[in-house]
Amino acid sequence: MPPDYFSATGQLWGNPVYDWEACRETGYHWWRRRMGHLLSLFDIVRIDHLRGLVAYWEVPAGAKTAENGCWMKVPSRDLFDSMIREFPEFPIIAEDLGVITPEVKEIMEHFRFPGMKVLLFAFGDDDPNQPYLPHNYKRNSVVYTGTHDNDTARGWFEHIASPEDRARVSRYIGREINADNVSWELIQLAMQSIADLAIFPMQDILGLGQEGRMNLPGSEDGNWQWRIHPDQLHPDLVASLARITRTYSRI
């Protein structure tokens, strides 16, 4: 991926690019098999970086960063048409964060793919039209407090958010927000929104700080190591989740 919010030098994954002409000639057989396997495991599949299935960022082999590359087009309509013929429901979430082009928006609207709304992105400027603020959501969307690439809600509030960001959170919610209550206040914002689906990391349910962060994009060490312990799941937590789910008719 090119440079973005998460990494000034981009994200260099080292993956080879797909031969899209060969994919087309086989009727996207490999892609259909892959999606079929995923849907045998999960009810809904998130397509990470949908941007890359409309156009992908290609860098030379051996590059040390992802800064110097170019966008290459993908036969996305043909690809997704073949998926929908195979899987008529095609239950996916389209990860559409970052800079999204009109071509990506057109694909999402054409296929009615639900996009993502991340609350940790909602308070970085004083703009009531900010697309991540809940009052601007469309029903066909999925709201997250944060994703695996973000800090936890508490970690963000304590260490990343500016004083202005924190003040905007309090003003938007209508009461004083602090590190102790920010996680569940954002969970409540997500649940009461009109977004069809609300998702939040277990770290936010537990109210954890930076010690619970899952992943730091652009870094190679210390990621994906957080684990929940059985003693962290207690009846009061279950009751709180049940209550907020019932309150906002998400049962």
Catalytic amino acids? 48, 95, 149
Residues 197 and 93: their CA atoms lie apart, in Å, by 10
- DSSP alpha helices (H): ranges in the chain? 20-25, 29-41, 76-86, 102-111, 153-155, 163-173, 182-192, 202-205, 235-247
Residues 5 and 31: their CA atoms lie apart, in Å, by 29
Q: How many CB atoms lie within 10 A of CB 97?
A: 22
Q: Which of 15, 12, 2, 17 is CA-nearest to residue 74?
A: 17
Angle between helices 235-247 and 182-192 (to 10 degrees): 30
Residues 113 and 117: their CA atoms lie apart, in Å, by 13
